[in-house]
Amino acid sequence: MTAERIRAISLPADHPYVLAITDPTAVEILPAPGDGSSGADAVVEQFLIEAWDEDQAADADLVHVHFGFELVPLSALERFVAALDRLGLPLVLTVHDLENPQLPEHAQDDFARRLEVLLRHAVRVITLTEGARAEIIRRWSREVSVVPHPPLGSDVAEAVVASTQPPGAPVANRPSSPGAPVAARQPFAARRPFTARRPYTAGILLKDARPSLDLAAIAALARALGTDPLRNDDWRLTVIRRPTVRAGRESEVAELKRLLDRSESADVEVWASMSDRELEDWLARLDVLVLPYRHGTHSGLLDLANDLGTRVLYAEVGHLADQRPGTNLGVDFHDADSLRAGLHAIAEAPPLPPRSREDGLRLLAEVRDAHTRLYRSVAARRAKTPAAAPAVTPPTATPPATAATATTPATPSPADTAGAR
C-alpha cells in the first residue's frame, strides 16, 4: 500500500532549493496564500497569517520555513508562530543563515531575533553543516539535523524538473535558464582542459554588491595579483557585476571600479542578468572562484563551483569551511601573506574532478529521502498529539530588543539566496 503524500506549506514554495529537496512522489508542496505578485511585498505576505485561508491550512501536515523571514516585522513573525500553534500546524525550520548575507552587519542582531522566534517554535530544525549545527546548539540549545545542500547544476536540475512533470511529458530547459538544451552542450569536464597552464583564472561574482561582499577584500586581491611573485604567474581576475548596485554602496563600487580599471590583471564585465547555464559555463572555466565575504554562513555558489570542478578561495566567515572540507581554502584577504599563500596553494592544487551526474543524482536522492523521513516523523507526531513548541534556552548574550532596521534589502532572487546560488 502506497503511503499518502505529506502536504507541506513551504515558505517559499517555488524555489530551486525547495524543488530539489522535495520528492514529489512522497511530498506535495503547498504555497502560502498570496496575490501572485513578486518582490518584497509578496515575500512578507506569505508570513502574514491573517491572510491565510484556514481551510488551506487545515489541508496541510506541516509548515516548512526556509528564508524570506528577514523581511518580516518581528511582531508579524510572533503572530505567525502563535497562529501555527493555535492551528496545530507543526513548524519545520531550515537554518540556511546564521548571519544573513542580504543584510548589512548592523542589521544582524534584528535578524537573529527573528531567527530565534522561529527556532523557539519549530518542532524540527535542519541546517546544512556540522559547524552550523554546533553553533545552533550552543546559542539556542536546540537539537538540529544536518542535511547537506542538494546539487543544483543543470544536469541534475533536469531530473528535478522531470520529476515534477506528468509521465511522458518532455523535459524542458530549466525554468529561468535560457540557453542551448543540455544535450547540445559538451560535458564540463570535456570543455575545461585540466592541465597546468597560464594564465590562472580567478572570478568574483559581485553582482549588485550585496551587503555581505567585502569590497576592500576585492581591492586587496587585485593589488596582490599585480605584484611579484603573483604577477609572474600571470593571474587574471574577472569581476562580474550588474548595471545597478545596492543603495548606499554606489561610491564604494565606483571606487573599486576605478582601481580595477587601472589594474593590468583585472577585468570587469557588466551583465544585466546571467542564466543558470551561463553561470555554470563561467564557473567551470575558472581555476578558482573567490568568495570575499565579510559575513555569512553557507554558500550555494561554493557547492556549485565544486560540483563543476572549480575550487574556492573564501574568507574565513561562517561555516564555509564545513561545506566541502579539504577541497577549498580559507584566507584572510586583508593579510597579504595569507592571501599570497592561498593563491599559490590553489595554483599548485591538483585538478578537482567535476561531480558526475550519477553522483549528483545519488546525493539528490539522499537529500530528498532525509527530508521525506523527517516530514513523516513530524506528521506522525502531529497525528498522535497536538503540536507543541519545545522548550528553548534563550541565548546567553541576546542584545536588548530594538526597532527593526529601517534598511530594507532588495528581495533575494533564487540566484542570490544562500539556499541556491
Please compute the mean of the pLDDT values over residues 321-346 and round it to a whole number: 96
pLDDT for 170-183, tens place per residue?
444 333 333 333 33
**pLDDT at residue 166, as a whole number:** 52
Please compute the mean of the pLDDT values over residues 268-277 and round it to a whole number: 94
Q: Are 144 and 133 in contact (CB under 8 A)?
A: yes
366 and 321 both lie in a single domain: no
**pLDDT at residue 168, as a whole number:** 53
Please compute the mean of the pLDDT values over residues 338-347 and round it to a whole number: 94
pLDDT for 142-163, tens place per residue?
999 999 999 988 877 776 666 6
CATH classification at residue 331:
3.40.50.2000
| DSSP conformation letters of 218-230 | HHHHHHHHTSTTG
Please determine, for residue 73, whether its predicted confidence score (pLDDT) is greater than 50.
yes
pLDDT for 203-214, tens place per residue?
999 999 999 999
206 and 338 both lie in a single domain: yes
Query: C-alpha distances in angstroms, 119 versus 83, 175, 252, 263, 279?
Result: 15, 32, 36, 47, 34
132 and 40 both lie in a single domain: yes
**pLDDT at residue 230, as a whole number:** 74
Distance CA 256, CA 275 (A): 25
Query: C-alpha distances in angstroms, 201 versus 214, 256, 271, 292, 311?
Result: 20, 19, 19, 16, 11
Q: Are 252 and 215 in contact (CB under 8 A)?
A: yes
Q: 192 vs 285, which has greater pLDDT?
A: 285
**pLDDT at residue 63, as a whole number:** 97
392: left (phi over 0), alpha (psi -120 to 50) or beta: beta
Please determine, for residue 285, whether its predicted confidence score (pLDDT) is greater than 80.
yes
**pLDDT at residue 159, as a whole number:** 67
How many helices (DSSP H) and strands (DSSP E) are in the chain?
14, 12
Least confident of 48-52, 70-74, 259-263, 291-295: 48-52
Does any domain span residue 213?
Answer: yes
Q: How many domains does the chain have?
A: 2
Which residues form the domain of 98? 4-150+357-382
Sign of CA dihedral 357, 159, 375, 115: positive
319 and 245 both lie in a single domain: yes
290 and 362 both lie in a single domain: no
Share of the chain above pLDDT 90, in %: 68
Please determine, for residue 189, whether its predicted confidence score (pLDDT) is greater than 80.
no
Element (H, E) at 63: strand 62-65
**pLDDT at residue 165, as a whole number:** 59
Q: 82 vs 385, which has greater pLDDT?
A: 82
DSSP character for 206? E
Does any domain span residue 240?
Answer: yes
Does any domain span residue 187?
Answer: no
| DSSP conformation letters of 348-413 | HSPP-PPPPHHHHHHHHHHHHHHHHHHHHHHHHHHHHS---PPP-PPPTTPPPP-PPPS--PPPPP
262 and 129 both lie in a single domain: no
pLDDT for 95-153, tens place per residue?
999 999 999 999 999 999 999 999 999 999 999 999 999 999 999 999 999 999 999 88
Under the banding of pLDDT at 50, 70 and 90, the label for residue 23 is very high
φ and ψ at 82, to 5 degrees? -65, -40
Q: Are 155 and 360 in contact (CB under 8 A)?
A: yes
Q: Are 205 and 240 in contact (CB under 8 A)?
A: yes
Q: 371 vs 230, which has greater pLDDT?
A: 371
Please determine, for residue 364, whether its predicted confidence score (pLDDT) is greater than 60.
yes
Under the banding of pLDDT at 50, 70 and 90, the label for residue 408 is very low
pLDDT for 36-57, tens place per residue?
556 668 888 899 988 888 877 8
Does any domain span residue 127?
Answer: yes
Cell match 533575494: residue?
A: 412
301 and 369 both lie in a single domain: no
138 and 237 both lie in a single domain: no
Q: Are 55 and 39 in contact (CB under 8 A)?
A: no
Q: Which runs of E-coded beta strand occur in 96-224? A: 124-127, 145-146, 200-207
**pLDDT at residue 153, as a whole number:** 85
133 and 11 both lie in a single domain: yes
Query: C-alpha distances in angstroms, 182 versus 155, 171, 176, 224, 300?
Result: 7, 10, 14, 38, 21
Please determine, for residue 252, whether its predicted confidence score (pLDDT) is greater than 80.
yes
Please determine, for residue 195, whether its predicted confidence score (pLDDT) is greater than 90.
no
Please determine, for residue 198, whether its predicted confidence score (pLDDT) is greater than 80.
no
Distance CA 288, CA 314 (A): 10
Q: 49 vs 184, which has greater pLDDT?
A: 49
**pLDDT at residue 232, as a whole number:** 63
**pLDDT at residue 185, as a whole number:** 31
Q: Are 392 and 142 in contact (CB under 8 A)?
A: yes
Q: Are 140 and 378 in contact (CB under 8 A)?
A: no
141 and 17 both lie in a single domain: yes
pLDDT for 375-396, tens place per residue?
999 999 987 765 444 444 444 4
Does any domain span residue 78?
Answer: yes
What's the whole-number average pLDDT of the chain?
A: 84
Does any domain span residue 178?
Answer: no
327 and 375 both lie in a single domain: no
Please determine, for residue 26, whether its predicted confidence score (pLDDT) is greater than 70.
yes
Please compute the mean of the pLDDT values over residues 250-260 and round it to a whole number: 97
241 and 334 both lie in a single domain: yes
